[in-house]
Structure 1
């Protein structure tokens, strides 16, 4: 008999801080289908506060973090209502919401061999407002088991994009660029899934665009395409030790932030044009991604791109220029639009938690073994 369909809802506000995505996902046996999607930008004041909390602020951070978490939960609840209304699905039909929260610090394995990862969220408030069970705090259990706590999406990528007989790679271009390397499901060599953060993507591109054009992002990469790559600057940035680290590895704004960029710009021997810096930042993303793909991707035949950066035509063209025989396509061509992939992944992870199934992959995060992730907040 066919399985009874289950609904889960995933919420994602990523490192790029460009907004929130909500995806209603229907599970029926092994079949996974996105039924509805809604997105909304973060209010300017909340975005500014979350961005400020990514760095040591020194002024009442605990108080500000708690209020920002409450404000984010209210934004989540509004988006949950919107996506359920659009889908004509009542809240009572949704088994749980997977709410990732907003990462403001990510320092795995540092300080005391465990480190920490901090996602601002108020899942209890979200459960109260939505009337739906909420699963949150996905990353800390993996950290406690010696892992990086990230990335958590490669297992989902395998579930939705894996193809018999094909070795694939999935590239998420959010604030940070991360890769999933997916062996073919019937791979006789027994290769494991890999996943890791390659380096910066939209976090620095958007920052530079906002600073010099007053725009939230470089639409289509048009501004970057008007500039010239500064190869000396590119080489200095690529010399950062992070790019040579072997997986498992993960990063964020703790490393790749405006101060990191400023330090490299100060080493330039002559004044630089802003559009040339933008072109160089795009090239940094493309080169770092393709180096990692060639190093760890083996004979991958496709590179499936998702995240907001999938709409940056210039960036995709630069990735394609370095691809060396790998077909570059967006996740839309494999059935799931780029802005829906990560939110759908957290619906998938929430389902794993509810079913008491492991959500991490030790081959990806470096954890000592599979672990059930997340904490459940009943409605």
Structure 2
């Protein structure tokens, strides 16, 4: 089996890693000459798919499946228009619906019993985020009305391009689900941890996540599945629990990053395989922590996932002291940067192994 991955950023890195674990040959396509996923792919072609449709079609003829790993609307529209979608593991319609956060929140508020985070323009502090895009890019906490007015005045067409929401404190969770042939499959719930810039820096697979949270996540997934009657392939649901209420943060109708690798190491379930042939699984999983780091002046800095884009030449590293596996690259000044994966019988043992790994990696 072989796979075309279109997009060599964070999602492409995730897909190439999981393809490696599934013994699936990958051909990575990206318009950049040196995307971060390049070192994990079996083959690489630098091209812009919007300008090279015929070339891509010929390449796809020799492969089993194609997975878009980009959020470029131009690239996705091109793939949607030029290919019949039979062997493209992606739901274009649902992605286009949910990539507009305002429209997504409206649909969720009408169709789910788990409330989305309220949209507000008062009752400070508030969180302001771009209507389009994922990750932490452009997210900002605003603490006062005067600060909010100043921010709005500096943004063109604020009401159409940005969203202001109630600021909430609590733990954030993520659960992946796959829909294929009209059937819904859901997988492990993970805990997300963030930096002060709202970028996710760590995924925790913890068997002790409260059953209440897991059950509410499953209920939210079922509600979303019913709301998007034609949804297919993989989507993830992110929520926040403030101690009393579980709030929907967002859904992403595309292959995510970070959590699939974490789920793989915790449960043995490869979500890339699940896209192709999903199966029911009743596995709680082992304790796993996946986190991103950078070596900075001989000090270890835990970083948000987005900062991995500052590195290059990433490779899978095995048999490292204290660490089950790592994806390590280098920065422009030749410092190590990457993702480390820890797995032990409990989180206390993981902390011991983390200290061992970071002492060694220096």
Task: Report TM bin, short chain.
Answer: under 0.3
Larger helix share, 1 or 2: 1
Larger strand share, 1 or 2: 2
Q: Which has the higher contact order (CA 8 A, sep 6+)?
A: 1
Superposition TM-score, scaled by structure 1 size: 0.27
Superposition TM-score, scaled by structure 2 size: 0.28
